[in-house]
Amino acid sequence: MRFNSKGNGGNITIDTGSFKLEDGAELSASTFGIGNAGDVRINTIDAVSLLDGNIFSTVEAGGVGKGGNIDINAATLSLQNGACRKYHNKSPSV
């Protein structure tokens, strides 16, 4: 969601054989407005690999609401070179 907008962020669901996020790529269901961030769900048969890639579901500075969930269902999960999954609230009030 954009800054100063109202409403909840949308959810992201990915169903695939394997999933890779790399080279600074980001997958985000975050919000900058008034409302909750969306959820991110990744369901794979094999591997999820984050190589300098990030998954976010956050309430950014200036936003008001709750961060969403990040659910990863995979046979293996690899986080390398600063990769992360993050769900938190940067806003001072919830």
DSSP string, 25-60: -EEE--BSSBSPPPPEEEEESSEEEEES-EEE--B-
What's the token pair of residue 4?
A: 């100063």
Q: What's residue 42's pLDDT?
A: 97
Q: What's residue 68's pLDDT?
A: 92
- List CB contacts of 52: < 8 A, sequence separation 6 or more: 22, 23, 24, 80, 81, 82, 83
Backbone CA torsion sign across 75, 42, 18, 53:
negative
Q: What's residue 29's pLDDT?
A: 92
Q: What's residue 45's pLDDT?
A: 96
Report domain extents, the chain.
Answer: 12-86
pLDDT averaged over consecutive 10-residue blocks of the chain (94 residues)?
A: 77 97 92 91 96 88 89 92 60 50
Q: What's residue 31's pLDDT?
A: 87
